[in-house]
Amino acid sequence: MKRSVAASVLTSLLMSCLPGLVKPPILSGQVAQEQVTQLTTEIPWTQDLSQAEQTAKKEGKLVFWMHMLGSLSGGT
């Protein structure tokens, strides 16, 4: 059963906010790679926060801001 990107992101957020209450799912390398590919190619990302805020306001949507070191693909 495939999990959606939104479900994966939500699970990650819950795990970081509520440690010990949410068990991380155990994924095979294949499933993890598929989710990273989906996350990095099917979601429109921007590197400019002000541009993201303007677009979100125009479209009536929220901004999900993620700051990280390295890359989602694991090749940091």
Query: Structural domain boundaries of the chain?
Result: 5-59
Positive or negative, the CA dihedral 14, 59, 65, 7 is positive
Query: Which residues, given as ranges, of the chain have pLDDT below 70?
Result: 1-6, 14-15, 18-24, 72-76
pTM equals 0.43
Distances, alpha carbon 60 to alpha carbons 46, 52, 65, in Å: 17, 12, 16
- Tell me the backbone φ, ψ of residue 40, rounded to 5 degrees: -85, -15
| CB atoms inside a 10 Å sphere around CB 65 | 8
pLDDT score of 26: 82
Q: What distances in angstroms separate CA 21 from CA 3, 5, 27, one per listed residue? A: 20, 21, 19
The two three-digit tokens of residue 20, written as one number: 């010990």
